Structure 1
Amino acid sequence: MQLRELADRLGCRLEGDGTVEIRRVAGLEQAGEGDLSFFANPRYAPALRRTRASAVIIGEGTAAAPCAMLRTKHPSLAFANAVAMFVVPGHPPPGIDSRSAIASDAAVGRDVSVGPFSSVGCGARGGDRTIIYPNVVIGDGAVIGEDCVIHSHTAIRERVSVGNRVIIQNGAVIGADGYGFVRRPDGTHQKIPQMAGGRHRR
């Protein structure tokens, strides 16, 4: 992508050669030809002076970099948006793996991806375009919204409701027991049954 196009898409003011081709994003120290970096913290001023990046996102009023610059009031935010343009997540294609276990009365939406060794419990529902990676357990009656990404080794317990566009990271347990005990007169503890059914929204 040419730097002038990137400047337009990020809403930055271009200083320097707008025909420079930007191929990826990188830190100031690691950047080289074709890389876009950013500068927002004065402690990294020495790295800015040494950088070999083709362009740097930089704040208004900040001293010039030794390369083309995209000036903005919010360099960290602009860089975050730039990263989103260049880093494309490698999600699996839609489809239900034959090694997964989907309950007969579970409802799975359109263009959903379910990885191997995942299970979807009785009465559970999954929204359109949701991605369920391998080794995920979705409990009975759970509801998953649209465009969610549920990473491996996650457990979504019974009757839990997850909203749209939620990302759940590896190993999370949603709807697990908390510390639910009551003290008996003799000082021992009795467990209080936990009623799952929490709602989790983006």
Structure 2
Amino acid sequence: MFDNGYVSEAGLHDLPAQANDGRPVLYGFTFHQIYLTTVITGIVNRILADAIVLVRARHRSYYHALAQRPCDEPEIQATIGRIAAYRSALHAITERAVQALDLAWQGAHGADAHRLSLAATVAASEAKVVTDEVAANPASLLIDVSSGSGVSTQAALDRHWRNIKVIASHNPRLYKERVLGDHYLNGTLLPTGAFF
């Protein structure tokens, strides 16, 4: 993932409409799907960062806690570990989709254009299904480690959960789950519309 990255205009290109053999490339909208998944993964990055800053800043534990400071509390440490593990898993599946799309773009003029394009949209669809479902968990865990102050309007930590759900709703995963299942069971090609 990059922060404040620069892309020149020459670096912006679309997936070609046709492969060398003249057949149309099937999945020209896969980039847009991966983009949204990457945005959600970025939100999870921020969730982990917010959780770490928040817990480190707290100086009081609950009276029944096992440690004096929240950052020494085993349950809090375990929750931060879960958030970090979810973040790493989301990075991995998103990166897999990005690499598949990169291969599709590199091979878009070759004989393998259809196969590479299909592989990219399958990877993007799988990343979408997993990311949309998993990303809400770290958002909830952030509230768990934040105590009562985390749900204040000033902290606005609930924005992460809401933003994840709003972005995910642009292309509901439950439809992708069915299409992926049909593809794996019956060899049915994924749709070629803007949601794939």
TM-score by length of 1: 0.24
The answer to which structure, 1 or 2, has the higher relative contact order (CA under 8 A, 6+ apart) is: 2
| Structure (1/2) with the larger helix percentage | 2
As a proportion of its length, which structure holds more strand?
A: 1
